Amino acid sequence: MKTLRLKLFQETACYKKPAAFKVGETYPLPPYATVKGMLHQVLQADRYIPMKLSIQGRYESRLVDYQKHYFFKKSNTLEFPLILDGLAFDYNTADITSMPIYMHMLLNVELVIHIRADKEVLDLLHLAFTRQNVTYSLGRWEDLVRIDECKYVECARDEDRDDRETILPIYIPVSVMNSAIGVPYRLNWKYEIVQDIRQWNKIKVRYVPEGEWLGDAEIDFDEDGYPVAIPLEMEE
């Protein structure tokens, strides 16, 4: 099956955990929903586009940034100026509060992402990423992405190959390998709006380090030996 492979680089990145409020903790790799959101933005999609993802990568180190975050006390607050200096009017900030937050960030992130979708979708993504005339971000808007590679690769499931190991740290879905040893996560994938609130479907994965044996995993490998670990939950 044809698969589109991306190799990305980010100087800094924060893939913030949804439940992290007082400290901006980050996932070690971008969650599925974060990558899916970037791809939908690249396609300028106005609807959900079915696709399947495998995410792996590494980072050099972690660092901590100190930021000021603003919070709204009421849901009907529309907009406000962050800087009041020089404005000709006074702004009522009674509905707004702020607090300092430590943000955990990853330094020098290298990602390898495999994408499977309809051929027309993959062709549009390939065209967008190879034009190199648009700036993309992944995670926060300031976490810019450099596209180092965008190419089609052939993938196959070879149960007899001797190098069934992880090349990079990778998300291994529990649905394809329950025996994988790693840090467990429940990653957002798709959501439904229920009473104006997003209800997320989550995928159970393990963050598996490089060099781990994947002997009994129901996964493919691409032509360069990268495992392609796509969750069964992404089947449409």
pLDDT one-digit tens code per residue, 146-193: 999 999 999 988 776 677 899 999 999 999 998 889 999 999 998 888
- Mean of the per-residue pLDDT values of the chain: 88
Q: Which two tokens stand for residue 146?
A: 């450099």
* pLDDT confidence band for 49 (50 / 70 / 90): very high
- How high is the pLDDT of residue 22? 72
Does the pTM surpass 0.85? The reply is yes
Query: Which residues fall within 8 angstroms of residue 178, CB to CB, at 6 or more apart?
Result: none
pLDDT of residue 83: 64
pLDDT at 85 > cutoff 70: no
Region 225-230 average pLDDT: 94
pLDDT higher than threshold 70 for residue 81: no
CA max distance for the chain: 72
Res. 80: pLDDT tops 70: no
Q: Which of 106, 95, 99 is nearest to 72 (CA)?
A: 95
Q: Which helix (H) or strand (E) holds 193?
A: strand 183-194
Alpha helices in the chain (DSSP H): 32-42, 119-131
pLDDT at 87: 60
- The confidence score (pLDDT) of residue 96 equals 76
Where in the chain are the domains?
2-74+99-234
Helix axes 32-42, 119-131, angle to 10 degrees: 80
Q: What is the pLDDT of residues 131-150, one digit of tens each?
A: 867 889 999 889 999 999 99
Answer yes or no: CATH 3.40.50.1950 is held by domain 2-74+99-234.
no
Residues 6+ apart with CB under 8 A from 80: 70, 91, 93, 96
Residue 125 is predicted with a pLDDT of: 95
